Structure 1
Amino acid sequence: MSFFQTEEQKEYINKLELAIASFSEREQELDESRSFPYQNIRELKDFGYTALTLPKEYGGRGGTLYDFLLGQELIASKSGSTALSIGWHLGGIMEINERKNWNSEVKEELMKNVAKGALVNRAATEPKTGSPTRGGRPETTAILEGSSYIITGRKTFTSLSPMLDYFIVSAWVPKDESIGWFLIHRDSAGVSIEETWDVISMQGTGSHDLVMDSVKVDTKYYVENQTKRSAKGAPWLLHIPACYIGIAAAARDYSVSFAKTYTPNSLPGPIAELPNVQRLIGEMDLELLQARHFLYSVAEKWEQQPKEHEKLTVDLAAVKTSITNSAIKIVDMAMRIAGAQSLQRKSPLQRFYRDVRAGLHNPPMDDAVISLLAKTALSEE
């Protein structure tokens, strides 16, 4: 089923698909060597995808949330780690421009560089605080000295770190007794990347540690104060479920192809003719349809009903939890169709299986979403 809203969207996604045709061919080698997909990111830059959500006034495409999700799902079906990585960059650009709480001079400086190909991501997670969504205070500090802040600390899970040009770093600001966010360039003295990323899922995101050793930052790059941030929803975080449903769709496609072509000598035809295999295929497609409808309907409502944004914040959270769990179910069913062959290292299914599990640990977490839904229901009059 097509989820395109316009012919322009369809044309853009079709062109993107041609531009990333080689992504899936590289995945096996990248996974085995545990390498970062440098070439994938360069090809996305060349296509102009890294400026998809950048407003036209800065030289970007001015893509909508819906455009963004379509692109993310497609890329994830070819390379999950590439999609998740670039999703943080594009989502961050969308967030900055929608919140409109940055100094205009600094914002324009960053956006013009993004138009030239610069990449940016937030760095918030720390070893002792865990997920920033849990409310822990960062141990990274920003001490005011004259007209500059001196920032010292370590951030984990810094996705896209091998190619990032800018980091938006959270730090405790003693002067304000609150959390602040600072824009830091990769080439700043005292900034380094420590290659610590050693996981079985999403290895290609290059989510290494960002280390800051007395990094000097001009006061104008103190871009946000946590206490002054609005409590608006975060629709750009839908890039997370879009990524995982893209991986699940790839697993679905692979298993259906396998079922059509695999004929053991105990059967007169391919396993696709078996009722139990057909049942699994049908259940996969039902799960996939439900997930896609949920994702794109909420994105469409967010765009078309701005007065309902406050109510839709619950939906945004629910989409992530529902879809990431659906993705896990779909990949599991795909592996049941392929049987033990799905566990072979040469099979992409074992990679899909490992990668979709990572979705459980991206924000918002399942327990927080379920609690939010319950509290919302109990607050109804």
Structure 2
Amino acid sequence: MHSILETWIKNERQQQLFDKATRIAAEAKKHVETTDRKADFSPDTLKVIKEESYPSLALAKKDGGEDLSLYEFLLLQEKIAEGDGAVALSIGWHVGVMMELTDDQLWDPQTFQKLAKEVADEQKVVNRMATEPATGSPTRGGVPETKAVRDGGQYIVSGRKTFASMVDHLDYYIVSAYVEDLDQVGWFLIDRHQPGISVDYTWDTLGMRGTGSHDLVLDRVVLHETDLVEIKGEGKSSAKGWLLHIPACYLGIAVAARNDAIEFAKNFQPNSLDTTISEVSHIQDKIGQMEWKLMQAHSYLYSVARKWDEEPENRDQIGPELAAVKLAVTNAANEVVDLAMRIAGGRGLSKHNPFEKYYRDVRAGLHNPPMDDAVVSMLAKRALQ
């Protein structure tokens, strides 16, 4: 079968990186039934992720990484998502954070170097913890109810974070909190073994169950003042190219659904037909629709990624394009999976086939930031200025 994604590989380095993602995808696919049922991340998949040095790829070469470009990052994320979207989304947060910290230099250099060394040498994994029950998505502007209260040279941090992907398997949490003495929102780097930290196993969703995004609970966690690594908004670029790992993930799910739908069409022959359903005109019509939707989505995603990589001086102006890509690609991915389901028919609803999982997982993309309504509103206001 024609591989859509391999046409976007442009050189030997990208092929070598892509091979890493292919091996991770193969391992992830072995565990999808278990992780989906248990609503948790597979430690076996994480082991392969670390063996492939995936967590350190986005670090600069001087820090033990590979200077991963945004284009390459998306290529790898999409491939992993073909194996399991939940794995791609989960590890994508870590790699994206490493890319952001490397590019924007948000932290004190010594603090960042310490973390980077652990990521490079031991393949440690981190994630930002920002979402809360009362605030919803942090992109909507809610102030965290998690509070950090100063006590001499320390902070006492208490609160609860939801949608904490891979929470049980991370080495560090980067947690947002309202810092009372500064009257600011700050981010604390917290070792997962710190006393006062626990996981509340709440993750019971329709889709993306394998992210294991349970709640992180902080009960009077004592931190040194140097653990306050970042103040919200300080030194941060408003445009975050690394967030394109989100649409790349859902595009990978759509490609997997497309591949399985084509295989199904080429092999399924009801006794009412002399051929497989791949010869039926309305099935071919649906396959054709999947193809052009995927072609459009890939062209848009990777052209904007190239622009990000090749025109660093224009990154502050690219925010609307990044948001529009997310809107276009995640919606296209949902449409492609829906077409795949229509090709599979009633069998697509069976737990014995992969289609129903693709259908559940791909819908989660509509609820990852930025939300469709926020993007449309932003684009309208820009056009009317």
> Under TM normalisation by the shorter chain, which class is it?
over 0.9
Match status 1:330 vs 2:336: yes
> For residue 220 of structure 1, what is the aligned residue in structure 2?
226
Specify which of 280, 300, 307 is matched with residue 301 of structure 1: 307
Q: Matches of residues 245-324 of structure 1 in structure 2 within 5 Å? A: 245-324=251-330
Letter in 2 for 1:154: R
Match status 1:60 vs 2:65: yes
> For residue 46 of structure 2, what is the aligned residue in structure 1?
41
Aligned partners of 2:175 and 2:190 also within 8 Å: yes
Pairwise CA distance, 1:24: 1.7
Distance 2:171 2:36 in 1: 24
Aligned partners of 1:141 and 1:172 also within 8 Å: yes
Pairwise CA distance, 1:227: 4.2
1:205-248 Cα shifts (integer Å, max 9, x gaps): 01111111111111111111114243431000000000000000
Aligned partners of 1:194 and 1:210 also within 8 Å: yes
What secondary structure, in the 3-state scheme, does the structure 2 residue paired with 1:24 have? helix
Extract unaligned runs of 5+ from structure 1: none
1:3-52 Cα shifts (integer Å, max 9, x gaps): 12322102321343145423223212332343422111111101111111
Match status 1:102 vs 2:121: no
> For residue 235 of structure 1, what is the aligned residue in structure 2?
241
Q: Output the TM-score relative to the length of structure 1.
A: 0.97
> For residue 149 of structure 1, what is the aligned residue in structure 2?
155
Extract unaligned runs of 5+ from structure 2: none
1:299-348 Cα shifts (integer Å, max 9, x gaps): 00011012221221110001111111111000000010110000011110
Match status 1:8 vs 2:44: no
What secondary structure, in the 3-state scheme, does the structure 2 residue paired with 1:334 have? helix
Aligned partners of 1:178 and 1:227 also within 8 Å: no
Distance 1:155 1:32 in 2: 23
Specify which of 20, 25, 28 is matched with residue 23 of structure 1: 28
Specify which of 124, 138, 144 is matched with residue 138 of structure 1: 144
Distance 2:18 2:332 in 1: 24
Runs of 4+ residues over 4 Å off in structure 1 = none
Q: Output the TM-score relative to the length of structure 2.
A: 0.96
Letter in 2 for 1:48: S
Cα distance, 1:165–1:22 mapped onto 2, change above 3 Å: closer
1:168-224 Cα shifts (integer Å, max 9, x gaps): 111111111111111111011111111111111111101111111111111111111
Distance 1:110 1:299 in 2: 27
Cα distance, 1:55–1:225 mapped onto 2, change above 3 Å: same
Aligned partners of 1:188 and 1:215 also within 8 Å: yes
What secondary structure, in the 3-state scheme, does the structure 1 residue paired with 2:160 have? strand
Letter in 2 for 1:206: G
Distance 2:41 2:24 in 1: 19
